[in-house]
Amino acid sequence: MEYGELKKNWAWMLVLGVMFITLGVAGLLLLPLMTITSVAVFGAFMIVGGALQIAQGIAKTKDWKSRGLHILMGAIYVIGGIATLENPALATTLLTLVLGFSLIAIGAIRIGVAFQNRDVNQWALMVISGAVTILLGAMIVLQWPWSSLWAIGLFVSVDLLMSGANFIAIALAAKVEKEKSGVPA
């Protein structure tokens, strides 16, 4: 495997991995804060994305047919982002409920796909994956609204941990490749 530039700069990737893991652990220790913060950042992104879409819609020539629809979609994003920032607790509660029902639906679909593909060797793993997804969704819905305190923060924190572990693994593999090539680390 060729790592190119990464071999020269593997330490930066290692530092990034350690930072992600640190943030993930902090998030796990402060799940409600991580949840609210994640939703607030999402709201801010909605505002920025909506404003950019409005600007893009305005900048287009007058003969562009869907100009008004792009401006409307951008305005909806901006309004949704403002509402999210105005009341992040309510937004978190609603997003958590949507997340729970989405996981239940995705798990059911995953099981359906597995049964349609019983000729595939690992179809049983797809069924198990779907069942776990349904169980997780049901756990979120059945504990709602209290699950709003931990669900989104847990998912973001675990993702940070997994991303950090990934960065560290890549950095260490690049370091090993660098050492094999005879260049001091």
Percent pLDDT > 90 in the chain is: 62
Query: In whole numbers, what is the pLDDT of the chain averaged over residues?
Result: 88
pLDDT tens-place string over residues 139-180:
999 999 999 999 999 989 999 999 999 889 888 888 887 777
CA dihedral 100, 103, 109, 112 (to 10 degrees): -100
Q: What is the DSSP letter of 179?
A: H
Concatenate the DSSP letters of all residues of 79-120 into one string: HHHHHHHH-HHHHHHHHHHHHHHHHHHHHHHHHHHHHHTTTS
What is the tens place of the pLDDT at every residue in 100-147?
999 999 999 999 988 888 877 788 888 999 999 999 999 999 999 999
Residue-level pLDDT at 179: 77
**Average of pLDDT values for 42-66?**
86
| 32 preceded by a cis bond (ω within 30 of 0) | no
Residue 64: pLDDT band (50, 70, 90) is: low
Domain ranges of the chain: 5-180
Who has greater pLDDT, 114 or 50?
50
Rounded mean pLDDT, 96-102: 94
